[in-house]
Chains A and B, each alone.
Chain A
Amino acid sequence: MRRREFVALTLPSVLVMFGFMLVPLYRTVEWSFERVSYGQAGTFVGLQNYLAALTEPRFGRAVVFTVGLTLVVTVVTICLGYLIATLVNGLGRMRPLVLGILLVSYVIPHVVGAVSFSWLFDSNFGGVANFLLGRLTGGDVLWFTDLWPNRLIIALNVIWSMLPFVMLMILAGLQGVSRETLEAAQIDGAGTLGRHWHVIIPSIRGVLGFAVLISTMDVLRTFDNLIPLAPQAVGLGNESIMLYIYNVAFREGAEDLGLGSAISVLTILIILVLLYPSIRSILKEAKEA
């Protein structure tokens, strides 16, 4: 490929990345050191925003909640995703139909899915799940105001929306596993579990690492699911980092862009720390390949 063609083909991506990623990132870092009001030039305040964020217990609670949610959801989606992908992989002509149905929860916008999900537990709007559980247990669960029930429905909803994507990636990985190797393992006497543990999982380790990476990044950015599912998120301590940033930087009457930017920068650092093992593992695998 000639140099001119290379430049012509890559320039749009470079411009888009510069305009939509680097410029906002630069402004976020800049504002994190300033006191900023909408439409006005910021005033340099040094590390004041970072100090405010790090000494605010609400930020700590948001980090603990978000990291906890990420760990739980990632583990569950990877395990369930693997299980469902294995089942789907064994299907014949029904596979496209089943896949199509499974992908519904992934293509529905998060906030729409979360509203519908919240109605399952809200007796004001039918509350089917609430009704059935009430019948079974004889008591009412306060899904929106009690800490752990609320965390449970948040986690269930995030898993519900994330699972198809993880399952799809793992399914792609499963389809690449050599049939000959599997047959050889079977001839050597490996059972179903043994084949999964010693053959399939090591073969798709790269795909699983990538699924963990994407899943971690997505769950760390949980925001819109919480609007309908956790209306009392702040008081309960079920506020995600992204919701906290929104509440600090954009909510009517708050609008502290400097503090919001500082929390955003800290969040980027947290995401990098959490993703480090996945990124390292993927890079190592790429080197070995």
Chain B
Amino acid sequence: MFDHFWTKAAAGCLVAVSLLLTGCGAGSRTAANTATEVACDFTNPPEPVTVNVLAYNSSAVDPFTNTMVASCSHDNVTLEHDPIDFAGQVQKTTATLSGDSGTYDIIESYSFVIPQYGSEGKLEPLDPYIEEFGDKYGLDAINQEMLDSLSYEGKVYGLPMQAQMLVLAYREDVFDELGLQPPTTFAELREVSQAIQDAGEIQYPLALPWLSSSDIGTAYKAALGSQGVDYVDPDTREPLFTSEESRTALEEMKSLVPYMDPQVTTFDQPKVQQQLFNGDAAMGIMFSGRMVDLTKDTNTEHAGDFAFAAPPAVLEGGRQYGALSVDGWSIPVNTQVDKRLLFELIAASVGEDASRASIPAAYPAREGLVTEENSPYATAANEAIQNVPEPAPFPWVAKMSSGTSEVVAQVVTGAIPVEEGQRQMQEIGEQVMAEQG
């Protein structure tokens, strides 16, 4: 009897604790308590409307999502946002845009996918709404280059909220001790890496996100962009994988391998961050949204030692080994909700107050908000954004990147020679262009 009671009591406690933990860990459908409240004065619809928002959770995107959900859920409008990771967003975006009606009314989009969805007519052009509501929401303060990044063939398909650019994070204490300066070219990057390696403290001083299934595609594109070219010649529509610039990009990338962890082709950005947290690397080039984490002493004992700079150029005199990824809000063509109303919701969320509150986690799309006073990597980010390679808003970019990234990984790890890699990539490129028609 006694045993029976205690067994039941223990089982009951276990269930209660499990439910509590599940509840705490499951995330919430409402905006975070810390969301910035802004004015969201839309014209109240006559009937109750539920607006479903699809946006992945990250420290850079959350401030905008939370502001929108918290500030615009009033009167007859209710916004709902379920927590989701980036991979989940990618899947759900494809699904929601595929039919005559979708699950989501506002989706988070980014420069990489805008050309594809724009060319397929799945996103609503926002130009008429920008024209109509530009003054009310101060949209003229949004950076033009970011607006261009979310445009395709002259039409804006995404209202920019924030951008991420590649930034070099380095251990200032290590650099000072060895008398080193932040590298401005890949040749200098090798020299600096060699010097740190020779000092004996850090075996693999350089950390780059070169995950073979995705990030390394971005890296190769950045190395091409640094030399002023892209995957394809936009005039002749010929893939440029067998070009001299492509060979240089691959060889320069390969030349960095001795200074990186031998398993670098399995490293995504969180793993690179972890290397820097652990003190296993002295330099890392990542998107700027990752930088603020390096400065938090709850993450790493080296928090106070990191400094930031614009990334180096592949060759002297070239543009940076850079990439600009702009996040924004898009409205699916297949939404059943009034699109004017939806635009007002997204415009309110990228207002000045919300943008200011997103710093330093994000680099908001509004001009002049990021300064040295409010962001530890402001100077580096501002310099990086000035010198990123030209945007390449073409619908084939995602397919090219996805198709060739594994080959790039094979080349940089030495599994196949550079020429063989170039040949394979050219074949993939020609196939992608043939499918484009």
Residues of chain A whose beta carbon lies under 8 Å from any beta carbon of chain B: 38-39, 123-125, 140, 142-145, 231-235, 247, 250-255
Q: Are A254 and B98 in contact (CB under 8 A)?
A: no
Which one, A38, A140, A247, contacts B97 given CB within 8 A?
A38
Contact with A along B13-45 (1 / 0, CB 8 A): 000000000000000000000000000000000
Cross-chain contact A235 with B399 (CB below 8 angstroms):
no
Q: Which residues of B contact A (CB under 8 A)?
A: 90-91, 94-95, 97-99, 113, 122, 211-213, 262-263, 265-266, 268, 271, 274-275, 278, 280, 398-403, 406, 409-410, 413, 415
Taking a contact as CB atoms under 8 Å apart, the answer to whether B97 and A232 are in contact is: no
User: Are A254 and B402 neighbours in the complex by a CB distance under 8 Å?
Assistant: yes
The CA-CA distance from A41 to B69 in the complex, in Å, is: 36
> Nearest chain-B residue to A126 (Cβ)?
B278
Tell me whether B98 and A38 are in contact (CB under 8 A): yes
Compute how far the CA of A226 lies from the CA of B173 in the bound complex, rounded to whole angstroms.
38
A232–B409 contact, CB under 8 A? yes
Closest beta carbon of chain B to A46's beta carbon, Å: 18
List the B side residues contacting A254 at CB < 8 Å.
Answer: 399, 402-403
B209 → A minimal CB distance (Å): 11
| 6 A-B interface contacts by CB (under 8 A) | A124-B274, A124-B280, A145-B263, A231-B211, A250-B94, A252-B398
Given contacts A124-B271, A232-B265, A235-B410, is CB(A253)–CB(B399) below 8 Å?
Answer: yes
| A235, B402: Cβ atoms closer than 8 Å | no
Nearest neighbor of B272 in chain A, beta-carbon distance: A124
Contact of B98 (CB < 8 Å), options: A39, A123, A140, A232: A39
| Chain B residues, Cβ within 8 Å of A125 | 274
What's the nearest-Cβ distance from chain B to residue A92, in Å? 15
CB neighbours of B275 from chain A (8 A): 124
The residues of A that contact B95 with a CB separation of less than 8 Å are 38
A145 to B415, CA, bound (A): 11
Q: Please, how many angstroms separate the alpha-carbon atoms of A143 and B262 in the complex?
A: 11
Docked complex Cα distance between A231 and B271 (Å): 12
Q: List A contacts of B262 (CB < 8 A).
A: 140, 142, 145
Give every chain A residue within 8 A of B97 (Cβ-Cβ). 38-39
Residues of A within 8 A of B90 (CB): 252
- Return A257 CB to nearest CB of chain B, in Å: 10
Q: For the complex, what is the distance from the CA of A231 to the CA of B212, rounded to whole Å?
A: 7
Contacts A38-B98, A231-B268 aside, 7 further interface pairs with beta carbons under 8 A come to A39-B99, A142-B263, A145-B263, A231-B265, A235-B212, A253-B403, A255-B94
Selected from A39, A145, A251, A255, the residue in CB contact (under 8 A) with B266 is A145
Distance between Cα atoms of A142 and B211 in the complex (Å):
15
In angstroms, Cα B99 to Cα A220, docked, is 32
Residue of B nearest to A39 (CB): B98
Q: Is the interface of B mostly helix, strand, loop or mixed?
A: helix
* Shortest distance between the CB of A252 and any CB in chain B (Å): 5
Contacts of B278 in A (CB 8 A): 124
Q: How far is the CA of A76 from the CA of B98 in the complex (A)?
A: 44
Q: Which of A232, A250, A253 contacts B401 (CB 8 A)?
A: A253
CB distance from B46 to the nearest CB of A (A): 31
Residues of the B chain whose Cβ atoms lie less than 8 Å from the Cβ of A39: 97-99, 122
B194 to chain A, nearest CB (A): 21
For the complex of A and B, 3 pairs with smallest distance between CB atoms: A253-B402, A39-B98, A253-B398
Give the docked Cα–Cα distance between A143 and B261 (Å).
Answer: 13
On chain B, the residues within 8 Å of A145 by CB distance are 262-263, 265-266, 413
Q: Which A residues lie within 8 Å of B213 (CB)? A: 231-234, 247, 251
Taking the nearest CB of chain A, how far is it from the CB of B405, in angstroms?
9
Give the Cβ gap from A85 to chain B, nearest Cβ, in Å. Answer: 25
Docked complex Cα distance between A112 and B97 (Å): 30
Partner of A232 from B99, B266, B398 at Cβ < 8 Å: B266
Contacts of A251 in B (CB 8 A): 213, 402
| Interface pair A234/B98, CB less than 8 Å apart | no
Complex CA gap A190/B413 in Å reads 59
Residues of A within 8 A of B266 (CB): 144-145, 231-232
CB distance from B218 to the nearest CB of A (A): 12
- Whether B98 and A235, one on each chain, are in contact in the complex, defined by CB atoms closer than 8 angstroms, is no
Please measure, in the bound complex, the distance between the C-alpha atom of A145 and the C-alpha atom of B265, giving whole angstroms. 8
Contact A235 B280 (CB under 8 A): no
**A250 B91 Cβ-Cβ under 8 A:** yes
Quote the shortest CB–CB distance from A278 to chain B (angstroms). Answer: 34
Chain B residues closer than 8 Å to A142, beta-carbon distance: 262-263
Report the minimal beta-carbon distance from A167 to chain B, rounded to whole angstroms. Answer: 23
